[in-house]
Amino acid sequence: MAYLPFLCFLFFIIISQAKAGDTVSCDNKRGNYTANSTYDNNLKTLISSFYSHKEINYGFYNFSYGQDPNKVYAIGMCSGDLKPNECLTYLNSSFADLREQCPNQKEAIVWGGSLTLWYSNRSIFRIVETDPTEGYVSSATASNVDKYNDALNKLMTNLKDKAASGDSRRKYDADSVYEPVNLATIYGTVQCVADLSSQQCNDCLDVAIKEIATCCNGTLGRQTFKPSCRLRYETYNFYNATIELDSVATPPSQSTNNTSSGHNKTHTVIAIAVPSVFVVLVVIFICFCLRVRKPEHIFEANIEEYEDDEEDELIVVESLQYSFDTILVATNHFSNSNKIGHGGFGDVYRGKLSNGQMIAVKRLSIDSSQGDKEFKNEVTLVAKLQHRNLVRLLGFSLEGRERLLIYEFIVNKSLDYFIFDPTKKALLNWGKRYEIIKGIARGLLYLHEDSRLRIIHRDLKASNILLNIEMNPKIADFGMAKLFVLDQTQGNTNRIVGTYGYMAPEYAMHGQFSVKSDVFSFGVLVLEIISGHKNSSNICVGNDVEYLLSYAWKSWKEGRATNIIDPLLKNISQNEIMRCLHIGLLCLQEEVEDRPTMASVALMLNSHSITLSIPSKPAYFYGSETRSLQNMQISDGNPDGSKSHESINEASITDPYPR
């Protein structure tokens, strides 16, 4: 038995290196697709959407995207000892490997050391499939095969029973058994696709366990990969401690279809596994303090349609609360040297926690008349929003009159810091700008359609787009956000807030807002990113002065659209830039119903095969019909039905720094 440690070590090295070439199965019977086809784009969009589901902390994803015949179904499953961020990283890496080895097959599977990724053009949810089968076998065998097999069978049977009893989040178990005759400890894991029933999981693992007797009698190590289940055993410990899940049962799986209307728009997302969202709710005295002087309206519109108090008031979890003293130390007593910005409701400071983590702290002004309201708004909304293109709220502090919001620290400041600077914008080549545009679109799509709540941002602008170290965009500042019930399409307000140049006309003039208000702001951002000009800057055209929106429209209509492109981008990806400009103009149309939804925008950006409609003249068109936004009047309905008028200069206008 002295040779066993060496052989086991050698086998471990072989298995651990398999990540560079994970086991894959490319199914040519299900049909093929071509690069950049609708199926290809649906597939990439679906896999990337895993990142938007930050509420999933148990390593199982099963979603679909698109419409037949190009609908894609995917299952991503990680072992129970992998942390959520590790799971997503491994799934993303394995997806890239899978596309290299199965470049055009509509159905394919990759089995990594700790994951399974399976996609197809047919429904693969809640079905048992035991073929194809792949795996690895150790060449070493036990000296007493019968005793070893007896111990192994008992271990596998126990693991199977425990895994099958898991809920729809996870069906996984790991354990070990000591076999004294061979002086060996056998370590094993089994796992089923989590949306299977207990009986289906048992059936799949039964097949895999029975195969051990025919293929691997007495072998000291084995991995079996099947589409619906997998198992592994070794004589060394190859797994980590299982990450515990809360004991609350997950609600039954549901399918959700979100299909957008309009020009060439398809956006269908089916959520099969509804994740557990239960966490311990505590800190009663905080809720009491916030309700002592409760504003008349928290979200200003339609919040009464939520009868559940969880949607109607600040709900916080213990892990989000920081003491004021902790933040005081982290920011060096809010020293000026740590001040990194100023917003409409307070200053922003850089800080460093005792564990070395960098944070950004938004300190709401004590004398701000809107401080309590905006604090409630932002904490309530942002704490529930988790997406890679949204700035993450780490926590809050609420002591006395102090209101602090603690965010992840974003290294590279905001988009306007780069895109409008003659020198710094050279750091943003077209590839980076295109990814920024697509990232903002993904973040807005999550807010509008894919999050548990429907959120209207209302203050989307270049200074509220932060860039991380890889220059990936993160939408910031939800102090002006609006909450919609899921079937609500628009709302009205008597208080106009936002920033000149980014406001949709129906909002600026009539207080009407909807998801299309954010779409308009997104269109302005697209033009700014392409041109490198602020929407409010003057563009000299001969003896005339134009504003960005009208200049872009005129240039596009007259066939001179390349004039709007930043000179740094000339002769680079012209077709792609022109398509983005076209999409931006579609977002800027004056009539609300003519603007696309963000679901449609995301599809347009990810698929060049979708034909774009012809945009009409944008709102705030400056020409012979010049209308200055600053001179327009806002018309709002009073409760009694009469009309009141106020200048837009009286609206709450935010400062150029992100908050």
Q: Which residues does the annotation mark as catalytic?
A: 459
Q: Which residues contact 557 (CB under 8 A, 6 or more apart)?
A: none
User: 596: which residues sit within 8 A by CB, 6+ positions away?
Assistant: 260, 262, 263, 265, 519, 583, 586, 587, 604
Counting Cα atoms < 13 Å in the Cβ hemisphere of 177 gives 18
Q: Please state the φ and ψ torsions of residue 143, each to the nearest 5 degrees.
A: -70, -35
**Sheet holding 393-399: strands in order across?**
339-343, 346-352, 358-364, 402-408, 393-399
- CA-wise closest residue to 350 among 339, 336, 365, 363: 339
Alpha helices in 332-370 (DSSP H): none
Distance (Å, rounded) from C-alpha 92 to C-alpha 560?
41
Alpha-helix runs per DSSP H in 574-635: 574-587, 598-606
| Token pair recorded at residue 575 | 């077709």
Distances (CA, A) of 284 to 229, 262, 281: 44, 46, 9
On whether the CB atoms of residues 621 and 535 are closer than 8 A, the answer is no
In angstroms, what CA-CA distances link 453 with 131, 223, 295, 389?
A: 40, 42, 21, 16
- 132 three-state secondary structure: coil
Q: Is 647 exposed, middle or buried (0-12, 13-18, 19+ CB in 10 A)?
A: exposed
The identity of residue 577, as a single letter, is I
Would you say 480 and 497 are in contact if contact means Cβ atoms under 8 Å apart?
yes
Residue 604 CB partners (closer than 8 Å, separation 6+): 264, 579, 583, 596, 610, 612
Radius of gyration of the CA atoms of the chain, in A:
28
- Residue ranges of alpha helices (H) inside 197-351 are 198-215, 284-292, 309-312, 324-330
Place of tokens 């787009």: 465
**Alpha-carbon gap, residue 73 to 58, rounded angstroms:** 19
For the chain, the 3-state helix, strand and coil shares in percent, each to the nearest 5, are: 35, 25, 40
Q: Omega of the bond prior to 132 within 30 degrees of 0, cis?
A: yes
Checking DSSP bridges between strand 229-234 and strand 482-484, what pairing results, if any? unpaired
Residue 424 CA to residue 417 CA, distance in Å, equals 8
Cα–Cα–Cα angle for 183, 185, 190, nearest 5°?
150
Half-sphere exposure for 184 (CA within 13 Å, toward CB): 31
Asked if residues 390 and 481 have their Cβ atoms less than 8 Å apart, the reply is no
User: What is the rounded CA–CA span in Å between residue 37 and residue 26?
Assistant: 19
Give how far the C-alpha of residue 628 lies from the chain's centroid of Cα atoms, to the nearest Å.
37
DSSP single-letter state for residue 336: G
